[in-house]
Homo-oligomer: A and B are copies of this chain.
Amino acid sequence: MKVPKYYRIKEAILELIADLPPGSTVPTERELAGRFDTSRTTVRQAIAELVVDGKLVRTQGSGTFVAQPKMMRVRPLSSFSQDLAMDGWRPGSVVLDISELVAEGELAERLRVPPGTPVQRVERLRTAFDEPIAHEVAHLPRVLPQLAEQLAEYGSLYRTLREECGTVVATAEDIVETVLADPVTADLLGVDTGLPMLRVYRTGWDADGNVVEWTVSDFRGDRFRFMSRQRLDWKDAPSAAEVGTAS
């Protein structure tokens, strides 16, 4: 089978850094091009994949370095902050926007409200160890005027819903796909445009089957893993799958 040259260089670099500790500097692109007798373009393609794989990080003007291993993990079943706190990672979030919004089209369908209903929008940057790891936009099917203050107090959105509204998310459905970081998201997360990310669409229901949340989250694909555990034998719950999800 034909293996592209950039891929052989990728493997060569992998071997080169195999024994180096995270944070070590990697030779410059220009030097690697010389060493492997190829062009800088080809070396850059190899390095680009290693960055996506979470093996290297690049900083313009500074250099290329061996990355921390990809070991972050989150259990999407429970709440974000709960999961990460359990693992001791100092989860946090930066509120980018809290606003009201009139639900139309897909959003209204997702939240199971009539088109024209005012709903709540919460846009946040999720962090762990103060490093941004996800961009998240949550939608709630009703407006909570004090949400900003309450969120600041409780920290977690799920906790706020429980304390202030008596709403408990009992069932959730996650749809996971890969997307590439657009320039805006990439800038927010401090990664390169085009980095593969994990996009999670989450629909949450309370115990009575009412939709209480619809959220889209983009997680850094280079730093993240996703975990979910489930019983295979259970009964059907309300489904979000009735709404078409073709993009």
Contacts and interface: CB of A to CB of B under 8 A. Distances in A.
Interface residues of A, number: 57
B78 A232 contact: yes
Interface stretch (A88-96, A102-110, A124-132, A189-197): A189-197
A165 interface: no
Interface stretch (A1-9, A24-32, A112-120, A144-152): A1-9
B175 A230 contact: no
B193 A229 contact: no
Contacts of A7: 182-183, 193
A221 interface: yes
B171 A232 contact: yes
Number of copies: 2
Nearest to A221: B178
Contact of A173 (B170, B179, B221, B228): B228
Interface in A52-87: 52-54, 69-71, 73, 77-78
Given A73-B241, A225-B245, 17 more contacts: A3-B183, A4-B183, A7-B182, A49-B194, A52-B178, A52-B180, A71-B244, A71-B246, A73-B245, A77-B232, A171-B231, A172-B230, A174-B229, A176-B176, A178-B198, A180-B196, A231-B237
Interface of A: 1-4, 7, 49, 52-54, 69-71, 73, 77-78, 168-180, 182-184, 187, 193-194, 196-198, 221-222, 224-234, 237, 239, 241, 244-247
